[in-house]
């Protein structure tokens, strides 16, 4: 159980992504009541640019700003240095961003990203890190990993002397090292020296084959303290959630359930449903008879298909509610299996179903 200033978070847990202080298509009440999420993720880079972390601070912090009374984790912006690489330049001091909104230059440093997140008031903050594309050579990755470790130390030193007494905020360092297992292990061992409240594994889902993502997690996770939350950033598919937990992972996030919902792909206990398909035109059955979410309790596949083809906004809401509920239900099943001592059997059953569905 992860204790935060805004409530307990049972682990393993999946965190819906609310990049710009909103999970697209849902109200905070819908997130809490219909998906059951005890924690969501926000992004420092995007909130720094708009509306600005100082503005959010003046308005009482991110929780009050977006009317969310449960836990929030904020990313530092390190991943945006990768995903917006055409607008960024990395040096030993930090990352220079050219705003994707107006082109203005902004310097993100280990210290400034901590300051921004302290202003946001998130429960869990992430250090600034460098995320390399796949593939990257061993030497270039080693240099990048060394920079990430140095930035983590600088961020922790700054936080320990500037932490706001009115906001109890944890700070997690991020294990990097590309797709080189030895560098992942080196990075993990050195970050453990920080004695952090939790640890993240980053730099995955950057174009590498899925088995390689899992291998890097398997190399790093066992080296991180078992009594602290271990967070793998930016993963995964429904079938992968249990695989990451089997590696010792406690926390995950991914845009997949919400983004795929908006694009017409819905995840069910029986596999993927592409809701635009003609075979659902007269289908009066719920999306997933085994699901108890608002969407499945009240609407048919035919209606969801109609909304999607008509490009109605309501489709995005109903689809996102379901997909996030499916992810959170999977995590609840995993927690129950762990508590009952049946996790190994659960893992085998998921693998068998995944193989049968061709996943």
As a whole number, mean pLDDT of residues 168-194 equals 98
CB 114 within 8 A of CB 125: yes
129 a catalytic residue: no
Report the pLDDT value the prediction gives residue 162, as an integer from 0 to 100.
97
CB 107 within 8 A of CB 48: no
Residue 358 scores a pLDDT above 80: no
Burial degree of 324 (CB within 10 A; 0-12, 13-18, 19+): buried
253 a catalytic residue: yes
Per mean pLDDT, which range of 1-10, 66-75, 350-359 is the poorest?
350-359
Per-residue pLDDT reduced to its tens digit, 261-314: 999 999 999 999 999 999 999 999 999 999 999 999 999 999 999 999 999 999
Owner of token pair 């998921």: 350
As a whole number, mean pLDDT of residues 30-44 equals 97
Average pLDDT, the chain: 96
Burial degree of 341 (CB within 10 A; 0-12, 13-18, 19+): exposed
Domains of the chain, each with CATH number or no CATH: 2-253 (3.20.20.105), 261-356 (no CATH)
Residues pairing with 124 in the sheet: 73, 170
Query: Predicted confidence band at 80 (pLDDT cuts at 50, 70, 90)?
Result: confident
Residue 189 scores a pLDDT above 70: yes
Report the pLDDT value the prediction gives residue 255, as an integer from 0 to 100.
97
Report the pLDDT value the prediction gives residue 260, as an integer from 0 to 100.
98
From 250, 253, 288, 329, the catalytic residue: 253
* Buried/exposed 211-237: b ≥16 CB within 10 Å, e otherwise: ebbbbbbbbbbebbeeebbbbbbbbbb
Per-residue pLDDT reduced to its tens digit, 201-225: 999 999 999 999 999 999 999 999 9
Per-residue pLDDT reduced to its tens digit, 66-76: 999 999 999 99
Entry pTM? 0.97
Residue 359 scores a pLDDT above 70: no
Report the pLDDT value the prediction gives residue 200, as an integer from 0 to 100.
98
Residues pairing with 89 in the sheet: 96
Residues pairing with 43 in the sheet: 75
Give alpha helix (H) positions in 50-180: 53-58, 62-66, 78-83, 110-120, 138-162
Give alpha helix (H) positions in 163-298: 181-192, 210-220, 238-246, 256-262, 294-298
Q: CA–CA separation, 153 vs 70, rounded Å? A: 29
Q: What percent of the chain has pLDDT over 90?
A: 94
Report the pLDDT value the prediction gives residue 77, as an integer from 0 to 100.
84
The phi, psi pair for 7, rounded to 5°, reads 110, 170
Per-residue pLDDT reduced to its tens digit, 97-140: 999 899 999 999 999 999 999 999 999 999 999 999 999 999 99
């Amino acid at each position: 159980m992860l204790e935060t200033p805004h409530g307990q978070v049972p682990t393993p847990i999946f965190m819906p992504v609310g990049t710009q202080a909103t999970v697209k298509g849902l109200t905070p009440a819908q997130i809490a009541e219909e998906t059951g999420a005890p924690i969501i993720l926000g992004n420092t880079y995007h909130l720094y640019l708009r509306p600005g972390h100082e503005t959010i601070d003046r308005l009482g912090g991110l929780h009050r700003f977006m009317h969310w009374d449960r836990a929030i984790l904020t990313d530092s912006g390190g991943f945006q240095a990768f995903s917006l690489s055409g607008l960024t330049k990395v040096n030993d001091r930090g990352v220079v961003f050219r705003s994707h909104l107006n082109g203005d230059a902004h310097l993100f440093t280990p210290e400034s990203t901590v300051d921004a997140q302290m202003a946001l008031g998130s429960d869990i903050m992430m250090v600034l890190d460098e995320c390399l594309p796949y593939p990257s050579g061993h030497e270039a990755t080693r240099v990048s990993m060394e920079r990430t470790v140095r930035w983590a130390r600088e961020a922790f030193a700054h936080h320990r002397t500037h932490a706001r007494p009115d906001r109890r905020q944890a700070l997690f360092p991020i294990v990097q090292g590309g797709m080189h297992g030895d560098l992942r292990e080196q990075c993990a061992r050195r970050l453990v020296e920080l004695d952090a409240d939790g640890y993240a594994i980053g730099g995955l889902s950057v174009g590498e084959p899925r088995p390689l993502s899992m291998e890097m997690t398997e190399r790093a996770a066992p080296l991180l303290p078992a009594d602290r939350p271990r967070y793998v950033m930016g993963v995964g598919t429904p079938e992968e959630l249990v695989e990451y937990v089997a590696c010792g992972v406690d926390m995950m996030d991914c845009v997949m359930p919400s983004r795929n919902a908006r694009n017409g792909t819905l995840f069910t206990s029986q596999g993927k449903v592409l809701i635009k398909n003609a075979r659902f035109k007269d289908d009066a059955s719920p999306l997933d008879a085994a699901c108890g979410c608002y969407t499945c309790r009240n609407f048919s596949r035919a209606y969801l298909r109609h909304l999607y083809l008509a490009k109605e906004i309501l489709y995005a809401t109903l689809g996102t509610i379901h997909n996030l509920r499916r992810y959170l239900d999977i995590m609840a099943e995993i927690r129950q299996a762990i508590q009952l001592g049946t996790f190994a059997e659960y893992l085998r059953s998921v693998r068998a179903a995944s193989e049968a569905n061709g996943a």
